[in-house]
Structure 1
């Protein structure tokens, strides 16, 4: 048998539920891996050894007593420091919030625990969770286990680096502009951004109003090493909770589209250019693999793709910056202050009427995309147009920030319409992973995951990896 820490969530759950291994054995192995590799990457910023071992012992007693066991029984997971977890700080990478201790779990974390998962540590995020680089003055820089000169992604960079290095089988993340999908891409993982409203979340420590952009676009999602784990984690996280008024009760699987399922392959959305050769090659390779798997892959672009890409900034940039600026000015570190300043340089303030017009346009664009997705249920494109960025690129100047934003175009388009998407690796170029993104219509995460699994069967599973020196 492989080392227990290296097994995926499905394999661990099979072993623990059948009582072939104990939950304590699994968690001891997971914590040993954390101790061995985390110092090299700084992904887990609050290990939870005692709590995790106590939870493992409780899970083993439940099994011995014949109690019903959850689908993630004994599976080691990590949670992000921007979500409430009872007894832990919801610090969001900000020094001033290091003592903001949550009294109860966010529904997302509560759902994972109810499914039997055991939290072994809390993972890093950039200050205020608003950069594609996971670095802050409180916890420091998280390094990509593949290549320490490249970002682990953000804002769920700690979750991605930990999962890729074998620290936990599932990393909990969240995504408003790519914060699950981009770290997954950077670290060679599967990253699922569910449909808006799928997974309930609420931070009880939050005292202010949730910005409109967050209400419309922020979602929770898992980062995993295999697609089958993404399915398990998604199902567990999606259980209903009245604390989130956005949650919708929709089946996790929909009717099967007519075969062959058509996939629209988009190499260069809206013809904006600057697609890295390795990224284009990954998209085309994934297209061939999907064709071999029985899909019909066609080069076709959803309507008004450029408008959808630009919609994120029209809807959210002023709202996000307005919400962040006072807090960043008072509590932010140098990194977020500089990065946010360049955002404002790239996206000057607009009139409030512009946001209302963007909301009206969103309705029109979502209708056009849904009609397109009725005919072609999946879109295959890039997660990022560039290979994972070199560390610190967003604090250089406004021109570099604009280039980064351009590379992330499809990450922004998906949340603007509230659609589901999955980032899945296709291989590596040197020591840098590369992958693609699959987008589907609302509530069709199942179609994204099915296609991602077809890619995974050909690409193989790239992680866990040992951190580079």
Structure 2
């Protein structure tokens, strides 16, 4: 994992109350590893850590709409068990007392797994998802659920059950989707780690919008939902992964080390091999299907300069078959969505915004009409993947934008086929990683002149997360640290 370093954030003036000294582990920008170390040493109690986060939730969540259900009493009870273990001389785990948020589509027995849809408002799971169980066994404490759009189907976060999640930097900009609630929670100190998932940028786009770090792990590295008798769309099996968001690369690496590994309930999950001895070379992608906004380009230049200063060989490259990958991802995804999200099969309609998104996106994407077309599209993935593998044998890491544009206004992904096309075209490089199952790390690259975080992503070869973390730490060390988001 590499040496632990301090999170790259500017000091937060809200960390002190009326001039009183606040233990670092209780400060709004304290990292997960920092919190856990302080709890394990007995410098601060897990209950105090949870209370500090609950206080921030009370202060911020009403305006931001990031968290849907808050587990105040249950979180305190769980934290007290961590404190009891410390008092008894036991090790409560590497995430001792660390508050986490859990997206509305990841099973946590403390509340319904709604998927952001009213049809599942009573769907309380019988057991925790494997990744939730593993983090809880490591001492983490769930404090809340993170908001999302219906079934994670949009690049913004809003639904008819819980309402909209607002961007803490500027409410006139989208918070991204679909893991928008957890990204905003992490950015504002309401949780230290957010658990989300990424089917088409759903971790990385909100991380970019909120100014946090998000990892889309390699396909299979982190278990997903347990597979039962209910059929799951092929695109969900192939494109979607669970992953963490946090405020530093080190915290992401720590979370991944605890979440990863084979799970008997998920046949896609594996014990990933260790990838070593990759060339320290990064290819910068500047052409992504649409014009890259100047402030996005500035963030890429900052990240590239940081890597070069840290001894990486930085070269310009073109992403192989990028448009083809993005088109195939979109058409396959929309073909499956029309089937799996059919109101007749669900038993009731999707929410208003999700219905509009599905209508506009599928109309623009031209879903496949025949089994032959669908099969040929999947077969073509191997052709695209082969070209990427050849490139990454020589240039293992790809650096580029999460989105070609700055974050747009709320509901920017609605409004007809042209809006759907624009939202998708911004994300060609992002959805290509989903199409190919590749690990991708999104992280901040300073603050733009518009007061919004800049951000980049690094795409690695399969199971090369450690290389992403090494390069990510170099970027963190070289770009200006982000301040805390405005208090409203």
How many residues were matched structurally? 462
Partners of 1:458 and 1:264 lie apart in 2 by: 18
1:356 and 2:379 equivalent? no
Partners of 2:387 and 2:420 lie apart in 1 by: 30
1:424 and 2:446 equivalent? no
**RMSD over equivalenced CA pairs, Å:** 1.6
1:439 and 2:456 equivalent? no
1:331 and 2:349 equivalent? yes
Corresponding residue of 2:316 = 299
Q: Which moved more, 1:64-73 or 1:290-299?
A: 64-73
Kindly report which structure 2 residues correspond to 1:22-33, keeping only aligned pairs within 5 A, or say none: 22-33=45-56
Show CA shifts across 1:105-126 (max 9, x none): 0111111111111000011001
Report deviation, 1:36. Answer: 1.1
From 248, 252, 267, the equivalent of 2:286 is 267
Q: Which moved more, 1:72-81 or 1:58-67?
A: 58-67
1:201 and 2:224 equivalent? yes
SS in 2 for 1:173: strand
1:106 and 2:129 equivalent? yes
CA contact (8 A) 1:189 1:462 kept: no
Partners of 1:400 and 1:467 lie apart in 2 by: 31
Partners of 1:170 and 1:128 lie apart in 2 by: 21
CA contact (8 A) 2:40 2:91 kept: no
Corresponding residue of 1:210 = 232
* CA gap 1:423/1:74 in 2 versus in 1, 3 angstroms: same
From 345, 369, 392, the equivalent of 2:388 is 369
Report deviation, 1:94. Answer: 1.1
Partners of 1:273 and 1:119 lie apart in 2 by: 40
Corresponding residue of 1:285 = 302
* CA gap 1:290/1:420 in 2 versus in 1, 3 angstroms: same
Show CA shifts across 1:76-127 (max 9, x none): 1100111111131011111121111112101111111111110000110011
SS in 2 for 1:73: coil
The TM-score normalised by the length of structure 1 is: 0.95
CA contact (8 A) 2:198 2:241 kept: yes
Report deviation, 1:46. Answer: 0.2
Q: Which moved more, 1:423-432 or 1:437-446?
A: 423-432
Partners of 1:312 and 1:44 lie apart in 2 by: 30
- Structure 1 stretches of at least 4 aligned residues deviating more than 6 Å after TM superposition: none
Q: Which moved more, 1:229-238 or 1:325-334?
A: 325-334
* CA gap 1:275/1:302 in 2 versus in 1, 3 angstroms: closer
Show CA shifts across 1:188-213 (max 9, x none): 11110000001112258x76311100
1:167 and 2:190 equivalent? yes
Corresponding residue of 2:257 = 235
Show CA shifts across 1:375-432 (max 9, x none): 1110011100011121011221211111111011111100100000011110122221
Corresponding residue of 2:359 = 341
From 235, 239, 243, the equivalent of 1:221 is 243
* CA gap 1:129/1:106 in 2 versus in 1, 3 angstroms: same
Report deviation, 1:328. Answer: 6.9
Show CA shifts across 1:333-390 (max 9, x none): 1111111110122012322212211221111221221121111110011100011121
Show CA shifts across 1:215-237 (max 9, x none): 11110011111111111111111
Kindly report which structure 2 residues correspond to 1:52-63, keeping only aligned pairs within 5 A, or say none: 52-63=75-86
Corresponding residue of 1:38 = 61
Corresponding residue of 1:384 = 403
1:256 and 2:277 equivalent? yes
* CA gap 1:267/1:129 in 2 versus in 1, 3 angstroms: same
Corresponding residue of 1:186 = 209
SS in 1 for 2:222: coil
SS in 2 for 1:86: coil
Partners of 2:243 and 2:473 lie apart in 1 by: 17
Partners of 1:328 and 1:336 lie apart in 2 by: 14
* CA gap 1:104/1:202 in 2 versus in 1, 3 angstroms: same
From 237, 241, 244, the equivalent of 2:266 is 244
1:400 and 2:400 equivalent? no
1:71 and 2:89 equivalent? no
Q: Which ranges in structure 1 are unaligned for 5 or more consecutive residues?
A: none
Corresponding residue of 1:317 = 334
Partners of 2:205 and 2:34 lie apart in 1 by: 26
Partners of 2:346 and 2:178 lie apart in 1 by: 16
Corresponding residue of 1:415 = 434
Q: Which ranges in structure 2 are unaligned for 5 or more consecutive residues?
A: 1-22
Partners of 1:4 and 1:70 lie apart in 2 by: 21
